[in-house]
Amino acid sequence: NSPQWSIAANTLSHIMDWAKRRPFVSEDGWNDSFTWPWLACVAARLGLGDRAKEFLYDLGVNQFLKPNGFFSLWACTMLSAEEKRREVIVDKGFGVWVSTAREGRERQPVFLESGSGFINAVDEMLLQSYDGVIRLFPAVPASWKRVRFAGLRAVGAFLVCSEFNQGEISYVSVGSLEG
């Protein structure tokens, strides 16, 4: 661990601490819909699996994921059954906006980008390939006891499949797409 790694890891800790304390109605910041997936990717690239999971679930899923599977731009609360019946989806030509009763905001844009960022962060937790090295399960959270993937692509036109079980890699398959 270099001094730069320590600075980056400490910065991620401060960002998460701030994001958890931040009230929902203040200015946009580190815990808006555009930022948390990429912070999870940074944590994964640093090998901080538990921190990456924290960004994905504590910020992403718990604050932004809506019941319809889309992520909202701003943090939102889960709606009660009555509020769900009153939820109105409006297309104003700019995109889909969801009307909610949350904290005085009448409309919330929903975005697909956060979902793709979520997937990218999970991929980074499972497989990284840069600097000529393929890294398997470089940022697996301690709570993920059995993990497997198939068909992830690595730099150099490689297709990788692997399984991680109780702290050990059970198998690896690497195929070249270039021959």
CA distances 128 to 12, 20, 145, Å, are 20, 28, 19
For residues 30-36, give the mean pLDDT. 61
The whole-model pTM stands at 0.73
Cα 20–Cα 52–Cα 76 angle in degrees, nearest 5: 40
Taking only the tens place, the pLDDT of each residue in 123-152 is 999 999 999 999 999 999 999 999 999 999
103, pLDDT greater than 60: no
Per-residue pLDDT reduced to its tens digit, 40-75: 999 999 999 999 998 888 777 777 776 667 776 655
Length of the chain: 179
Say what the pLDDT of residue 81 is.
47
- Residue 30, pLDDT above cutoff 70: no
Percentage of the chain exceeding pLDDT 90: 45
Highest mean pLDDT out of 13-17, 37-41, 143-147: 143-147
The token duo for 141 is 């959270």
Going by pLDDT thresholds of 50, 70 and 90, the confidence category of residue 159 is very high
Name the more confident of 5 and 22. 5
Of 155, 102, 110, residue with least CA distance to 130:
155
pLDDT grade, residue 12 (50/70/90)? confident
